Amino acid sequence: MIYFQEFDSFEEMMEAIERAREEADARVQDWQREIKVGDYFEKDTPYGFNIYGEVLEEYNEPRMKNFRFCKCYSIACPEGELGDVHVSTIKRKMTKDEFEEMKRRGWM
């Protein structure tokens, strides 16, 4: 779901971003925290399809501790897209074989 938020200042916007990150960090489960480079995962969307990703990099900055740089695929983006994923949004880890099977099926 997409929503827009207005801010009266840059500082107010940055505070909102920080609060949202802290809230997401509070939802992280132990198994999600352990997700690392080379892992594969599945995450839900509110659009009726799943996203499948591979973790490419981890961040060293403390505020980014629960973000992973990934390449993610779906029926909406079968060629893949690079970006950050917060581990709290990951539904489950997958094996490479499961990931390859989803690729073979066209990410369905």
Instruction: Kindly compute the dihedral angle of the four CA atoms of residues 96, 99, 104, 108, in this order, to the nearest 10 degrees.
Output: 170
Contact 51, 74 (CB under 8 A): yes
Phi-psi region of 85 (alpha: psi -120 to 50; beta: other; left: phi over 0): beta
3-class SS of residue 24: helix
Give the pLDDT score at 87.
98
- Which SS3 state, helix, strand or coil, does residue 2 take? coil
29-80 pLDDT tens trace: 999 999 999 999 999 999 999 999 999 999 999 999 999 999 999 999 999 9
pTM: 0.89
